Amino acid sequence: MRSFDLVEPATLDEAVALLDSQDKSVRAIAGGTALMLMMKTRLFQPTRLVSLRRVNGELRGIRMNGDGGLRIGAMTSLAELEYSPMLASAYPVMSQALRTLSNIRIRNVATLGGHLAHGDPHMDLPPILITLDAKVSAASKRGQRWIGVSDLFAGYYQTSLATDELITAVHVPSQPLGVCCWYEKFTARSADDWPTVGAAVWYSVHSNVITEARVAVSAATDRPMRIAAAEAALTNAPPTAQVFSKAADAAADEVQPISDLHGSASYKREMVRVHVRRALERALNLRSNGAG
The single residue among 212, 222, 249, 270 that binds another protein, judged by CB under 8 A, is 270
If binding means CB under 8 A, how many residues of this protein chain bind another protein? Answer: 29
Cross-strand pairs, 212? 204
DSSP state of 9: -
Nearest to 184 by CA among 222, 217, 214: 217
Ramachandran sector of residue 188 (left: φ over 0; alpha: ψ -120 to 50; beta: rest): alpha
Both ends of the chain: CA-CA distance in Å?
A: 47
The CB-of-251 to another protein minimum distance in angstroms stands at 15
E-strand stretches of 36-190: 48-51, 62-64, 70-73, 135-140, 143-148, 153-155, 158-159, 166-172, 180-186
Site for another protein in 191-250 (CB under 8 A): 191-193, 196
Contact track, another protein, 134-173, x by CB under 8 A: ----------------------------------------
The CB-of-279 to another protein minimum distance in angstroms stands at 13
Distance CA 134, CA 113 (A): 13
Query: Is 261 a residue that touches another protein (CB under 8 A)?
Result: yes
The single residue among 24, 105, 142, 189 that binds another protein, judged by CB under 8 A, is 189
Of 13 and 192, CB closest to another protein: 192
Binding region for another protein (CB under 8 A): 1-3, 37, 40-42, 100, 103, 186, 188-193, 196, 257, 259, 261, 263-267, 269-271, 274
